[in-house]
């Protein structure tokens, strides 16, 4: 298992920042594996065209590190861009995830002081997916797993998927729930007519939040955290709107249902990142509602700008110690960096 950055490695990473600046760890930073197009579950997911953006997304070396250095980011925790393993044909998803995790591991080994990884976790067979998560964590040194939503079939609260969460608890690593395009039935019902004219409406503009926020809420309601009381989940984009609604959610669910403590369960098991959401009022809401120890810095590179994300965080009106927690302290603790 590769060692986390320490000693000379950490000193090397720290050269790009001054002693007065906290270490900066960004942990929802994406890449694209070259083999994905060959295994994509078409027609549900179209192959990615060769574009300058895709070439940046595919880079695991010079270009990525150059942009990190320009912003002062010391370490990226890298994960496959959506839909990842959830967009690969079921018959191929396990073998694809294994090969992909091996290739990402090799790239991390080339830059161990700058990169870490979240494993691609296949969900077509949850027991096999759990085994791959264990291999990636135990043998490759990954810091957790990434699941890119599920756009067809049952939600993640279905017990067929629980072996993955059970294994994550046993390994003491988080599962990062990342959005993907909404369920096809939802696309037709909620977004018909606008998916073509305003494609970000179904994605980062609204659809991603609805899709992943619903996944997270269903996990809380399912009782999975009673079964696995040490399970940890990460949500990007400042919690996919849940922290801003949590007071009303908590009150409403307590009226006439068995869920009397939504806020307590959510705040105990979920972490949120700033990925692609550089809003001080929104972040302050998260801090007020779930606590600063649950908020972690992320950029969502290359979909969002490293420079913009770091600049925003540095200019936020908060104490240096609080910035240090968000920039790296909370991530060090959660991911054992």
Which residues are the active-site residues? 300
How far apart, in Å, do the first and last CA atoms of the chain sit? Answer: 13
Cα separation, 189 vs 12, whole angstroms: 52
Is residue 193 within 8 Å of residue 162, measured between CB atoms?
A: no
d(CA 147, CA 123): 8
Reference 289, options 329, 328, 234, 250; nearest CA is 250
Integer CA distances (angstroms), 230 to 116, 157, 165, 207, 337, in order: 23, 16, 10, 29, 19
| Structure tokens that stand for 174 in this block | 């988080």
**Among 306, 81, 34, 43, residue whose Cα is nearest residue 203:** 81
Q: What is the CA radius of gyration of the chain?
A: 19
For tokens 């296949």, what's the residue? 122
Torsion sign (Cα): 213, 303, 336, 16: negative
Instruction: Name which of 159, 182, 170, 163 is nearest 86 in CA terms.
Output: 182
Asked if 40 and 106 touch (Cβ cutoff 8 Å), the reply is: no
CA distances from 111 to 62, 107, 115, 185 (A): 10, 7, 6, 43
DSSP label at 79?
E
């Amino acid at each position: 298992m590769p060692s986390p950055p320490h000693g000379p490695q950490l000193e090397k990473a720290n050269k790009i920042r001054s002693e007065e600046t906290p270490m900066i760890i960004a942990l929802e930073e994406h890449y694209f594996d070259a083999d994905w197009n060959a295994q994509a579950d078409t027609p549900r997911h179209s192959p990615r065209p060769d574009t300058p953006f895709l070439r940046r997304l595919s880079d695991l070396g010079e270009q990525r590190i150059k942009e990190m250095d320009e912003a002062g980011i010391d370490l990226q925790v890298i994960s496959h861009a959506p839909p990842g393993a959830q967009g690969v044909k079921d018959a191929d998803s396990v073998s694809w995830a294994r090969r992909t995790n091996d290739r990402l591991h090799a790239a991390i080994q080339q830059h161990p002081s700058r990169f870490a990884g979240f494993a691609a976790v296949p969900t077509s067979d949850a027991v096999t997916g759990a085994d791959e998560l264990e291999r990636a964590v135990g043998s490759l040194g990954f810091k957790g797993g990434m699941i890119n939503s599920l756009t067809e079939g049952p939600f993640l609260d279905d017990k067929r998927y629980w072996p993955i969460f059970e294994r994550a608890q046993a390994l003491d690593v988080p599962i990062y729930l990342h959005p993907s395009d909404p369920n096809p039935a939802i696309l037709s019902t909620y977004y018909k007519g606008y998916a073509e004219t305003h494609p970000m409406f179904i994605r980062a503009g609204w659809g991603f939040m609805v899709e992943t926020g619903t996944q997270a809420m269903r996990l809380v309601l399912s009782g999975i955290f009673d079964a696995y009381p040490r399970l940890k989940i990460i949500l990007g984009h400042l919690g996919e709107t849940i922290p801003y609604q949590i007071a009303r959610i908590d009150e409403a669910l307590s009226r006439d249902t068995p869920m009397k403590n939504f806020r307590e369960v959510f705040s105990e098991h979920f972490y949120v990142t700033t990925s692609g959401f550089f809003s001080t009022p929104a972040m302050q809401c998260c801090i007020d509602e779930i606590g600063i120890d649950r908020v972690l810095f992320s950029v969502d590179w290359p979909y969002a700008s490293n420079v913009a994300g770091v600049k925003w965080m540095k200019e936020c009106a908060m104490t240096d110690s609080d910035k240090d927690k968000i920039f790296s302290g909370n991530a060090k603790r959660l991911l054992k960096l």
